Structure 1
Amino acid sequence: MPNLDPDDLRVIKTLGKGATGTVLLVHRSLSDPSASSPFALKFLTDPSNSSSRNRLLHEASVLSLLSSHPHPFLPILLGSGDHVVSRDGLLAFALPYCPGGDLHLLQGQLPDRVFSTSSLRFYLSEIVSALRHLHSLGLAFRDLKPENILIQHSGHLTLADFDLSKQLPRQPSVASPPRPCSNLKHQPKPKLPPKSTSPGFTLRKAKAATARVSPVGRRRRSLMGKSYSFVGTEEYVAPEVIQGDGHGFSVDWWALGVLAYEMSFGKTPFKGNTKKETFRNVLLKPVLCPGKRTSLTDLIERLLAKDPAERLGYHRGADEIMEHEFFRGVQWDILAEVARPPFIPPGTGEEDSPTTGVVDLAEYLRKLREPPPSA
């Protein structure tokens, strides 16, 4: 793909807006006038916001690293030469378009918002595979949630939004295949969290003003392979992040446990009526999986161990999780070759290409930045 030329881009539609940037579906007016090969363009919504600018540039640097070490369930930057366009107040980069939306939208279409066990195994396997690759590059994702898991045209997943990711000392990736998992009945039940009187789990005042907690404006430190930033989305944030005791790659495995619970039972396990109550539940409330005990509920409970040192994945990373009984039979090396994922986005053929854009990018940005009309 050649270098991005903003003058050549036409906007088809807006895909989403986040804390840092806006994502558009665009196509090239000269080389692709019929919009048969659209792609996503993420640009900085407010060029005057220096913290947002830094986060967008950080995300671009992470994506550049992933482009140099590609993985089928992680995104890459499109374009040659300079991947980041910076001109006339525009700061943007291009990504492949995922027409299936995100996992949150897909879940909303399901009866009771619950995935089947086979679909759960498929999707969780791909997420574990993606996180394993990220961690081997020294990257903690730190914002795993359904909205940040996109569905490619093939039906396979890809993670998205890396502005909260953090470089930590690398967690080595083991080349040998995972050891067979022991039988579930021989696995000890996970320990319950300490009672509320335990000083190690005393609720501290919440440090976040919004649901998605950002490190911007706070001093970020790394010590002994840990980060002390208060980041994440409140229903998925790990206990050690709330406690401020420093965190590592295990925050991603905690979020995976929350995600697995939500996909299994249609809701997150610790949500309270307020942010403070949610944080209190994360610290103190034991995870309660409805129904009989299965390999899936065992996986969830082990991922949601309050103490990160007791959490599945803490000692040997993804390989511990891949060996769990729930993933028995998964062929990890050929996940990307599965031809029929549980959901394949409709209209992914050339004959179903999106409508061509009716406004060029410059015009779109001009209208976006116009002050609202006075009453």
Structure 2
Amino acid sequence: MKKVSKKLIVSKRQQEHVLFERRIMQSLQCDFIVRLHAAFKDSSYIYMVMEFCSGGEIWSKLKEMGRFEEPVAVFCTACVVEAYAYLHKKSIIYRDLKPENLVLDHRGYVKLVDFGFAKELAKGSKTYSFCGTPEYMAPEIIQNQGHDFAADFWALGVLAYELLVGSPPFSSSEPQKIYSKILDGVLKFPPNMNEGAKSLISKLCRQRPGQRLGNTKNGIKDVRHHRWFSSINWHKLRMRQMDAPTVKLIRKGPCYINFDRFPFDKTQADPEFSGWDQDF
């Protein structure tokens, strides 16, 4: 269950984002996206009750392992490709891909969570909001040139790199330095990365959106047909008939064993009565 202080939402001017997230998530029915079962509110918080994914976050697994073996990285990225295919068909751009927003279900299948930055976008149009996680932002977002679905494919390349290497290709402790590296566009591959992975990442992380894999005339089919995914039977993946190599990352035990433990937050948020959430 996601519980967020309404006061916090108002102070950050996120009312529209939160309402959109709920509306979007209620309309999505895809095996590669976490389901929203219910949403409700009280005077201080909004609550979203979602499908429980007992395998935990990809982010914590990646930190544990250092980096993923190739078959695991391929499978995780393929699940995201399927989520993208579903969302883009529904004219939704995701814009917040990163390991923290990917969770594993009990069978090791990967699902997208957190639709706070998602947006409906008509084919052929662009949007100009500056959003996302710095390491995953496409050049056109940083330069405020207007972006579309191509920005999601850039982020897919960054994700594949981070899963294989353990850190993203463009990183620094200062966002400005990250943006400079992204705009320079120099991808440095470690010597042990195979040619298939290098080829996929280079084609997804092209500076010009119109040249990016997934954003040319064959669309997402070109991503699926890339040789890095040769081990993936896409039909079997969609039918959830593949054995997930990610299963070995999942610990056996109580339902919370794959999650990081945090101290219980006993603070109580103040009530908020502006009424922005009357339809929540």
TM-score category (smaller protein) = 0.7 to 0.9
**Match for residue 277 of structure 2?**
none
Distance in 2 (CA, whole Å) between partners of 1:73 and 1:299 is 21
**Match for residue 62 of structure 2?**
107
Match of 2:146 among 234, 242, 246: 246
Q: Is 2:251 the partner of 1:346?
A: yes
From the CA coordinates, give the structure whose radius of gyration is larger.
Answer: 1
Report the RMSD for the aligned CA atoms in angstroms: 2.3
Superposed, which structure 2 residues align to 1:309-324 within 5 Å? 309-315=210-216, 316-324=218-226
Instruction: Report deviation, 1:340.
Output: 4.2
Match of 2:36 among 74, 77, 84: 77
TM-score by length of 2: 0.85
Which sections of structure 1, spanning at least 5 residues, go unmatched?
1-40, 171-223, 356-363, 371-375
Q: Is 2:161 the partner of 1:261?
A: yes
Instruction: Report deviation, 1:368.
Output: 2.3
**Match for residue 197 of structure 2?**
296
Distance in 1 (CA, whole Å) between partners of 2:31 and 2:222 is 21
Instruction: Report deviation, 1:136.
Output: 0.6
Instruction: Report deviation, 1:102.
Output: 1.0
Instruction: Report deviation, 1:123.
Output: 1.0
Match of 1:63 among 14, 19, 25: 25
**Match for residue 269 of structure 2?**
369
Match of 1:92 among 20, 28, 47: 47
Instruction: Report deviation, 1:293.
Output: 5.5
Give the structure, 1 or 2, with the largest relative contact order (CA under 8 Å, sep 6 or more).
Answer: 2
Greater mean deviation of Cα atoms: 299-308 or 96-105 = 96-105
Distance in 2 (CA, whole Å) between partners of 1:155 and 1:75 is 13
The amino acid across from 1:331 in the alignment is N
Deviation per CA, 1:270-306: give whole Å up to 9, x if none. Answer: 1134211110110013112122661111001111101
Distance in 1 (CA, whole Å) between partners of 2:231 and 2:266 is 53
Match of 2:228 among 304, 326, 336: 326
Mark the CA change 1:49 to 1:245 in structure 2 (over 3 Å): closer, same or farther: same
Distance in 2 (CA, whole Å) between partners of 1:132 and 1:146 is 19
Match of 2:7 among 24, 42, 47: 47
Mark the CA change 1:106 to 1:52 in structure 2 (over 3 Å): closer, same or farther: same
Deviation per CA, 1:103-140: give whole Å up to 9, x if none. Answer: 11001111xx2211111111111111111111111111
| Percent identity for Structure 1 against Structure 2 | 28
Instruction: Report deviation, 1:342.
Output: 2.2
Instruction: Report deviation, 1:88.
Output: 2.9
Instruction: Report deviation, 1:353.
Output: 4.9
Which sections of structure 2, spanning at least 5 residues, go unmatched?
258-263, 271-280
Q: Which runs of 4+ in 1 moved over 6 A?
A: none
Instruction: Report deviation, 1:365.
Output: 9.2
Superposed, which structure 2 residues align to 1:106-145 within 5 Å? 106-110=61-65, 113-145=66-98
Aligned residues of 2:54 and 2:256 also touching (Cα < 8 A): no
Instruction: Report deviation, 1:91.
Output: 1.8
For 1:226, what is the secondary structure of its paired residue?
A: coil
For 2:141, what is the secondary structure of its paired residue?
A: helix
Mark the CA change 1:236 to 1:369 in structure 2 (over 3 Å): closer, same or farther: same
**Match for residue 285 of structure 1?**
185
**Match for residue 271 of structure 1?**
171
Distance in 1 (CA, whole Å) between partners of 2:186 and 2:8 is 44
More helix by share: 2
Distance in 1 (CA, whole Å) between partners of 2:8 and 2:201 is 43
TM-score by length of 1: 0.64
**Match for residue 181 of structure 1?**
none
Count of residues in correspondence between the two structures: 258
